[in-house]
Amino acid sequence: MIRKSRGDKVFDAANGIFMVLFSITILYPFVYLFSMSVTTSPATISPFSLLPKPGTFTLDNYKQVLSSNFVLVGYKNTILRVVIATVLVLLVSVVTAYPLSKRNLPHRNVITGFIVFTMFFGGGIIPMYVLMRSMKLLNTIWSLILPGLIPTYSMLLIRNYFMSIPNDLDESAKIDGANDYRILFQIILPISTPILATVVLWTLVGHWNAWYDASIYITKGERQVLQAILRQIVVMGKLEELGGDANMAVTPDAVKSTTIVVATVPVLCVYPFVQKYFVKGIMVGSLKG
């Protein structure tokens, strides 16, 4: 290793300082929001230390948000949605990707084209709504799950992964008399965990964060998902849903911030441990199959 020159040292220091400032820029809003959620007067938070004025600390905001049925119902519906969607998406995507990965599949190109075309042309929101209505899926969890049952891009990534598995593996299984279903579930899937983990995580995050479909298809409060409820409270400012108690010394902005914190904490807790799988996924995705 060649000794570092003075210019290099200056650059390293400047780069390091830049990265620290950058990280602060990313984290600052989260810390600020958290400060807002534990104070009675958000106006007194210092923009530099991010600490509220001493003596204004309170957990009442959390009491109010967690005691309202609204947020908890949202949590329940979101978790239900995420779990069902992830299981179904994975199952159907895998079962679709496998035959498409086989070169001997009759009319493979036609079928692939039929599927890929949908990535580039869609009907738009009104036809989707009409479809949901006529299938009587409005206000059901299926209106949130079925339209995204096969995320085409993820499914093609799985297909590409399957194609990279040497063919002789299932050839020999076939000679032993195994059919395609057994080959897929007992031989191919166990060695495909990296791509499956990535698709599972993408689906989890996608469904956790989804709000637009729910805000259109779901009109009953008790069926609504967390993000759509969050939007009503935080962006549209409908605080009455939180059952505003006149006796509680809370300000609307503090309650809004608290709701955001409550809705985001699970992601923040899980995220550092799983982010490497997302990164892996994008690497797989950037390779052409």
Site for other proteins in 72-91 (CB under 8 A): none
Q: Does 42 bind other proteins (CB under 8 A)?
A: yes
Distance (Å, whole) CA 254 – CA 45: 11
- Token couple for 159: 């297909």
Q: Does 162 bind other proteins (CB under 8 A)?
A: no
Q: Cβ of residue 211: shortest distance to other proteins, in angstroms?
A: 5
Using left for φ > 0, alpha for ψ between -120 and 50, and beta otherwise, residue 45 falls in beta
**Residue closest to 204 by CA, chosen among 284, 90, 74:** 90
**Between the CA of residue 136 and those of 77, 140, 210, what are the distances in Å?**
19, 8, 21
Q: Cβ of residue 165: shortest distance to other proteins, in angstroms?
A: 15
Span interacting with other proteins, options 5-13, 59-67, 69-77, 187-195, rule CB under 8 A: 5-13
Beta-strand ranges (E) seen in the chain are none
Span interacting with other proteins, options 18-26, 51-59, 162-170, 241-249, rule CB under 8 A: 18-26
Q: Does 211 bind other proteins (CB under 8 A)?
A: yes
DSSP 165: S
Span interacting with other proteins, options 10-18, 68-76, 157-165, 192-200, rule CB under 8 A: 10-18
Q: Cβ of residue 139: shortest distance to other proteins, in angstroms?
A: 16
Residue in 169, 235, 249, 265 binding other proteins, rule: CB under 8 A: 235
Q: Does 25 bind other proteins (CB under 8 A)?
A: yes
In the range 239-268, which residues lie near other proteins by CB under 8 A?
A: 253, 256-257, 259-260, 263-264, 267-268
| DSSP code per residue over 234-272 | HTS--GGGG---TTS---HHHHHHHHHHHHHHHHHHHHH
Number of Cα atoms under 13 Å in the Cβ half of residue 199:
30
If the CB atoms of residues 223 and 255 are measured against other proteins, the closer one turns out to be 255
# residues near other proteins by CB under 8 A = 96
